[in-house]
Structure 1
């Protein structure tokens, strides 16, 4: 009887300690400027240039603006020259910083030799790997994806291969200088199996594990590598949902996430998304993966899309259910 009492007492103490530590970590997230302070010239100390992929809109555009506002020159990369040129003009007009435009389609093969030539000899202190795509705007089962073979290739090229190749291009310079920041954009749905977005969520798991591995390998070189896994951000990929407590604007999300650069190798980027991540991890997987949840998610997204005005270009994309959402 004494042994059982000791066991349950020890178990209870362990639970208290575990949740006490989690509460302490959460309290730190409430005061990032106190617990994870960044010097005033932190970003410009890292290097003269920042490189942002998928910078034509959404989160990528917001990162490009935020880093330019910190005094960095910016290389913005995406596939649409007209949009990139406008973003470059907006950044120059607002900040006075130099902006270099690199037009490339990361879903295609063999684009990185040209990218490397464009970035050659630049003192790059920050890399933001933001570019990504959904296989289908409306969630669907893996085998129901339109043009599945092509979708697999484009998804892996964009969401997986790009992050590795961009790090291969830029990381050596950071190692030589002994400083640098790499921010890799993952997704909150990488925290658990996500039916109907199986391929997308799996690609974002790769982003997290690759980032965490790089951080362990190169942190002693003075380099910060961090995976940022947001939930709701009002972008094209999210159907431009109205902003609220859980769905942030790209600008607000980026401003928040940059405050947590020293908070670890994976963050959700904001307090509300951190809490949401913890809550979702408490829900049994049987519930999250139930058929009723899958059907509900499918109907919710479909109804949301049908209830709002969709620009002509997006209508065409939705018809083939194959969005190349390079944000």
Structure 2
């Protein structure tokens, strides 16, 4: 047996071990309760309060409810006071926890000094950076947006700046206490480069890289910082698509995603979304970037939104 043959055998065995280990690690995602168990008192032990941006609807509202059900008081933040007050009452009536409301439009420039003042004396154990905007529900080319300058400002302020600023406000207290959790909500679209949602997808890539950097810096301080990157969740950003095996309700998604809190610095939050992310990364990008494929994506989403709108209109007239 010559040296080349020995090298080939060694290299082949190394590949088998490497991919076998990756497969084993991936298989853990199917059994989160077994591999990543959390004590029932875990969240309440982190601190008295949780803060959720974009907490008046969708995923943010579901996180606020879930954390209150786990024994935490909750601060919910968005720009619509009426909706915030309604959610606060629902959470308080259902869970018995205290809910604090902060009205803030995160697309604006100077909102954080007031937020910091209102959060100053709270023992905050969990921060959920959920707020975000999708500038164009119907996908389009970057230059086709009617108000592109304003869209750029809004996306950067809401999707990028807000997350960094909220971490700046809340992270020091976590460091001082030596415990805390920060969940930064990204999107499954960052699994690949995603044309037609270019601005939105790029902002969510920032969420992931920022979160991974912070986790590396503060993991030894006892703090968990995790990117949560869902695919389909039936929210306003997704035009309230009908739930199915891929498109989850906000409540089901949040319940599932919290089970992956100790699964690493990034999670897709559910088994089906984890598999979908793996499949997308396995498909050659050239398949997505053909003009015919991009046009088909636009057409399919337009049809779904139009159908949803017609159903809503029909229901309203009954």
Structure-2-length-normalised TM-score: 0.95
Residue 102 of structure 1 aligns to a residue whose secondary structure is: strand
Task: Give unmatched runs, 5+ long, in structure 2.
Answer: 314-318
Farther-moved stretch of structure 1 (286-295 vs 4-13): 4-13
Shift of 1:4: 4.3
Farther-moved stretch of structure 1 (287-296 vs 104-113): 287-296
Residues of 2 paired with 1:273 and 1:22: CA distance? 18
Instruction: Describe how 1:279-294 pairs up with structure 2 within 5 A.
Output: 279-294=279-294
Farther-moved stretch of structure 1 (58-67 vs 15-24): 15-24
Residues of 2 paired with 1:251 and 1:153: CA distance? 31
The residue number in structure 2 matching 1:322 is: none
Residues of 1 paired with 2:149 and 2:312: CA distance? 26
The residue number in structure 1 matching 2:91 is: 91
Shift of 1:249: 0.6
Instruction: Describe how 1:28-177 pairs up with structure 2 within 5 A.
Output: 28-177=28-177
Residues of 2 paired with 1:65 and 1:168: CA distance? 24
Task: Give unmatched runs, 5+ long, in structure 1.
Answer: 314-327
The CA RMSD over aligned residues, in Å, is 1.6
Shift of 1:307: 1.4
Farther-moved stretch of structure 1 (161-170 vs 134-143): 134-143
Shift of 1:28: 1.5
Paired residues in the alignment total 313
The residue number in structure 1 matching 2:215 is: 215
Residues of 2 paired with 1:130 and 1:305: CA distance? 23
Higher relative contact order (CA 8 A, sep 6+): 1
Residues of 2 paired with 1:8 and 1:293: CA distance? 40
Shift of 1:39: 1.4
Q: 1:312 to 1:233 in 2, by over 3 A?
A: closer
1:185–1:227 CA contact under 8 A, matched in 2: yes
The residue number in structure 2 matching 1:20 is: 20
Q: 1:312 to 1:117 in 2, by over 3 A?
A: farther
Residue 309 of structure 2 aligns to a residue whose secondary structure is: coil
The residue number in structure 1 matching 2:316 is: none
Q: 1:131 to 1:310 in 2, by over 3 A?
A: farther
